[in-house]
Amino acid sequence: MESIDKLSLKQIRYFASIAEHGSFRQAALRLNVTQPTLSNQVASLEELLDVQLFERTRSGTSLTIEGRELLTGARRIIEEAHGFAMQAGSLSGGGAGTYRMGVTPTLGPYLLPHILSPIHAKYTDLKLYVREDAPSDLEYGLLNSQHDFILSTQPIMSSSLVVVPLFREPLKLAISRDHKLANKKTINRMDLLGEQVLTIGEHHLFHRQITELCEKVGAEVRRDYEGTSLDTLRQMVVMGMGIAFLPALYAKSEIRDEKELRVADVEGVNVMRNHALAWRSTSPQRHFYKELATEIQKIIRANLSSVVIPIG
């Protein structure tokens, strides 16, 4: 068909970006083009395909039925083109390119400083665009090609993804120095009975894990005061608003001085977070991601085995 010869990758990228943002204006800003340029390119694409891709109303822009049907194919074309360019770059001795990595906010800031420098030393031309989000949103974004791969907390459920476990991370108990348990030599699970436990917002997987833990030991989750981040959670513990369980990597990174807080293990409580690297099974770069997962496992085993439990 003559129309196929006239299709361009740029037009397909524009179509996918508008679908992702639900707005011509937002897509134009993201693509760094003018809105008239974007509109003209999409109009040309619709004319070539003889299909209306978007429904434009006062409330915004939404995909038509035909647009929804074509979006999966458009994302696949973009991903294949990205993979083609990466492979060509490798064959020509060029750079590895820029990859979009998703990571959870309760893990990324406390793990990445330990692994990015060694990774950069091995893959000198690799660049990572890092975006933080909750685990469920990361998985959704990966499936919809918003990320190339994700570093996230398990479970990761989709059968369309390859999931390689990296390490297990213990949770540590944080209590203020004026708390009744602060000077107790050994804290056991019975000491947590009836205690007020702070956690972050319920849309985080971490919140669910803490809630399940509290149900097991007879502690109470404080739902009237939920932190927006691990830092906020720590400050509320310092102020005596309750106790909290914090990830071991966070405790290592952020709690160096225990004058205000005591960080301890709880005898009889062995709660872990399982972290993994995941990517689409159809990704052209899947062999590189597998190599990258192995490299991260090596780094963790060499540098963080005193804090977390390496896998692999």
Query: Mean pLDDT score of the chain, rounded to an integer?
Result: 87
Residue 229 pLDDT more than 60? Answer: yes
Residue 162 shares a structural domain with residue 300:
yes
Q: What is the CATH number of the domain that holds 70?
A: 1.10.10.10
Which pLDDT does position 93 carry in this prediction? 41
Q: Which two tokens stand for residue 212?
A: 């399940």
Band of residue 3 on the pLDDT scale cut at 50, 70, 90 = low
Tell me if 274 sits within 8 A of 163, measured CB to CB: no
Q: Tell me the pLDDT tens digit for each residue of 59-69.
A: 778 899 999 99
Is the pTM here over 0.75, yes or no? Answer: no
What confidence score (pLDDT) does residue 94 get? 38
- 93 plus 125 within the same structural domain: yes
The verdict on residue 80 lying in a domain is no
Give the pLDDT of residue 2: 52
Residue 46 domain boundaries: 2-74
First to last CA, the chain: 50
| Phi, psi angles (nearest 5°) of residue 114 | -85, -25
Give 165-214 pLDDT, tens digit per residue.
Answer: 999 999 999 999 989 988 889 999 899 899 898 888 777 778 888 888 88
CA atoms of 157 and 104, how far apart (whole Å): 16
Q: Note whether 196 and 220 are within 8 A (CB).
A: yes
Residues 173 and 265 in one domain: yes
285 has pLDDT over 80: yes
